[in-house]
Chain A
């Protein structure tokens, strides 16, 4: 596991308030910087970073809901978008090497998972549920 982002591991049997609470959509104000975003990302087992009013984030959220996961959705203002993506890009060196972070971006277990493409592909191949379970977003 990449340790680029500080990640708190959740003790599984313990129902952690953070992972379970239906966190409402948060919006970073004009002070939003990459670091704040990273904090939020690390606090949630599953979080979707999206532009305001993006319909694709709606799709991601719907899909995750069907699986029993209620993801946090974090909306990014247009003006902050470039800055945040930059920060994320430099910090998140996930399996997709040097790929620009596309919005909507899904973070599972504090780690950048990918865009809607990746979520769909993983879902169809049947692996998504195990990934979510591993991150503590799903149990049972």
Chain B
């Protein structure tokens, strides 16, 4: 074979001029050694022979990912269209003496073409003859086209590099997130059904009180859900008041259980309770001293309780007012606590290095926060109890159902929000 010394796979595409691109045939020329470097370095060499004869394009391909399986079919050289139709562009032509680089190959090809003009064993020789004759004329054109090809090849490669880089980064990030998730799950930190990235960070502080609460709260939510379904079924089935009373009592008791749990974990870490991270995001939106505002709960409940007697309406009205007053008093107490802590921390000279006394005093003051959480829960508990005194059994059942369903929907809202499609990033 003519180009037997070429260390490359050479695909020779031929295109007949009149008929456009005909069947593309290739042949494997020479030994198959691969170019160094793992990037593709397809080169197109358009030798514009500018004759009615063949314009030969040599695509010298090394480890190209897109390269098709070489077909070892002998080809013929004929007349064809310029090569820029076939957009495979290659590496810079840098003559560095490496026998595996394109330059030398091309040179070799050129040489071979020239050299082989003497041999007669192949049709290609005709073309090479022609090439030899016309070689001098279109050198400029050739050079220009080569340059264009190089440029395009470089751009393409850069684009590909950037894309691969992006993919790699995303992959690493994904692995990282999966690991964090695994860790968090193992520590039992299951936050209300929705794991939000911003909170995974605190899984590092393994506080056993918090971990225990997390598990218990997860179970609490499940039981809550079950109770709601039971209530719904019971109300629709019109069971007796006595049986309904049992469900109501256990429903109310379930809330009291939550307050007990919160009291325990507040002693371990009051900031944890107040921050509301143990709740879903929509629930957290309504957070007031580590839970719901009792007056808000009443607003949710009361419309579901119609019809109410005149007496009941009056009592509910009084309850709403009392709740509001108690909440205001607690809120003002919280503000006072904030002021106290703030002034304690900020106090003393700032040009002294030691701030320990200020911080230590502030810590003592912060302990009042536990009382606030307890008082707030106590208020919630008292409100629930007063409501159950005012209402009939059936009304209380409907109220509990309404309340439970409300929280259930808020949790669903949180999940929906967390899985909403991301906003398109800026280009």
Contact = CB atoms under 8 A, between A and B. Distances in A.
A108 B421 CA distance: 59
> Among the interface residues B330, B333, B379, B382, which one has the most CB atoms of the partner chain A within 10 A?
B333
A120 B318 CA distance: 14
B363 to A, nearest CB: 14
Nearest to B344: A53
A125 interface: yes
A64 to B, nearest CB: 9
A58 B333 contact: yes
Interface in A106-140: 116-117, 120-121, 123-126
A50 to B, nearest CB: 12
Contacts of B318: 126
Nearest to B371: A56
Given A55-B337, A62-B332, A124 B382 contact: yes
B332 A59 contact: yes
B215 interface: no
A54 interface: yes
Interface in B165-213: none
Interface string B363-376: 00100100110010
> Among the interface residues B323, B329, B365, B389, which one has the most CB atoms of the partner chain A within 10 A?
B329
A88 interface: no
A31 interface: no
B239 interface: no
Nearest to B379: A120
Contacts of B383: 124
A59 B319 contact: no
A56 B323 CA distance: 17
A124 B326 contact: yes
Interface in A49-91: 53-56, 58-60, 62-63, 66-67
A111 B382 CA distance: 24
A58 B326 contact: no
Contacts of A56: 333, 368, 371-372, 375
A29 B368 CA distance: 25
B137 to A, nearest CB: 97
A117 B378 contact: yes
B386 interface: yes
A66 B325 contact: yes
Interface size bracket, B side = 20 to 34
B336 interface: yes
B322 interface: yes
Given A56-B333, A59-B332, A120 B378 contact: yes
A59 B330 contact: yes
Contacts of A66: 325, 328-329
Nearest to A57: B333
Contacts of A62: 328-329, 332-333
A54 B322 contact: no
A117 B375 contact: yes
Nearest to A60: B329
Contacts of B371: 56, 116
B340 interface: yes
Given A55-B336, A58-B336, A124 B323 contact: yes
Nearest to A121: B382
A54 B315 CA distance: 33
Interface in B282-334: 315, 318-319, 322-323, 325-326, 328-330, 332-334
A59 B234 CA distance: 42
A58 B329 CA distance: 8
A123 B325 contact: yes
18 contacts: A54-B368, A55-B340, A55-B368, A56-B333, A56-B372, A56-B375, A58-B336, A59-B375, A62-B328, A66-B328, A117-B378, A121-B382, A124-B322, A124-B323, A124-B382, A125-B386, A126-B315, A126-B318
Given A121-B382, A125-B382, 18 more contacts: A53-B340, A55-B340, A55-B368, A56-B375, A58-B332, A59-B330, A62-B328, A62-B333, A63-B325, A66-B328, A120-B375, A120-B382, A124-B322, A124-B379, A125-B386, A126-B319, A126-B322, A126-B386
Interface of A: 53-56, 58-60, 62-63, 66-67, 116-117, 120-121, 123-126
